[in-house]
A and B are shown apart, each in its own frame.
Chain A
Amino acid sequence: AQSVSQHNHHVILSEAASLELGCNYSYGGTVNLFWYVQYPGQHLQLLLKYFSGDPLVKGIKGFEAEFIKSKFSFNLRKPSVQWSDTAEYFCAASNFGNEKLTFGTGTRLTIIP
């Protein structure tokens, strides 16, 4: 069965610390991968997505993610976090040519000023 796993449920960091959130997927076929962010009281927004090509994907607000096929991973990174990055982060996947998304359970990120 298709699934997306996020092992970090709650991450607490100080401002300026580096961030890496894990995401692993279990999908047959060609996979499209996404990271979404949900700021407190707001709707889900797309941070970045990977369909093909360069496995290092850059997104908005200084975030990037690396697709490592051999590890079935798509970890999200940011070199220096800010207080405004406090939010819930969701990894998601879909099969190529299929719009249906499977979401991970999410990681709550808390940045301490």
Chain B
Amino acid sequence: GAVVSQHPSWVICKSGTSVKIECRSLDFQATTMFWYRQFPKQSLMLMATSNEGSKATYEQGVEKDKFLINHASLTLSTLTVTSAHPEDSSFYICSASRDYALNEQFFGPGTRLTVL
């Protein structure tokens, strides 16, 4: 149990276009979902935290208008990279938490975004 999927697994887009990444908890309802960014050979940096039906909470330095997060249901969160530029190329990982008291996140496989 506790499987999280992401779609797509990789995407290549042209500069200036927008890209949507989906994160789904397949076999549980996620109270909270998290979005991370991972640069090559670096750690995961938390971008934002989202709860179903409410606005996402963004970490300092993350542009809200550039990285739009929608958490429409207890099993789906989406990250839209708007007007993508080459510097947005990265590995984006989502995670989901099913029980606040357990404080355990289940991670998706990640999405590789390349902006040309």
**A residues adjacent to B (C-beta < 8 A):** 32, 36, 42-46, 49, 51, 90, 94, 99-106
Chain B interface mostly: strand
Would A103 and B44 count as touching, CB distance under 8 A? yes
Question: For residue A45, which residue of chain B has the nearest CB?
Answer: B107
Let me know if B42 is at the binding interface, CB within 8 A. yes
Question: For residue A98, which residue of chain B has the nearest CB?
Answer: B103
Complex contacts, B4 vs chain A, CB 8 Å = 43
The verdict on A49 contacting B43 (CB below 8 Å), with A43-B109, A43-B110 known, is no
Complex Cα–Cα for A100 and B107 (A): 13
Question: For residue B94, which residue of chain A has the nearest CB?
Answer: A43
Question: For residue A95, which residue of chain B has the nearest CB?
Answer: B103
**B residues adjacent to A (C-beta < 8 A):** 4, 32, 34, 42-46, 49, 93, 95, 97, 100, 103-105, 107-110
Q: Which 4 interchain pairs have the tightest Cβ spacing? A: A44-B107, A43-B109, A103-B43, A105-B43
Question: For residue B57, which residue of chain A has the nearest CB?
Answer: A100
Would A99 and B100 count as touching, CB distance under 8 A? yes
Complex contacts, B46 vs chain A, CB 8 Å = 100-102
Min distance, Cβ A34 to any Cβ of chain B, angstroms: 8
Would A32 and B110 count as touching, CB distance under 8 A? no
The verdict on A51 contacting B103 (CB below 8 Å), with A99-B97, A103-B43 known, is yes
Complex contacts, B110 vs chain A, CB 8 Å = 43
Min distance, Cβ A41 to any Cβ of chain B, angstroms: 9
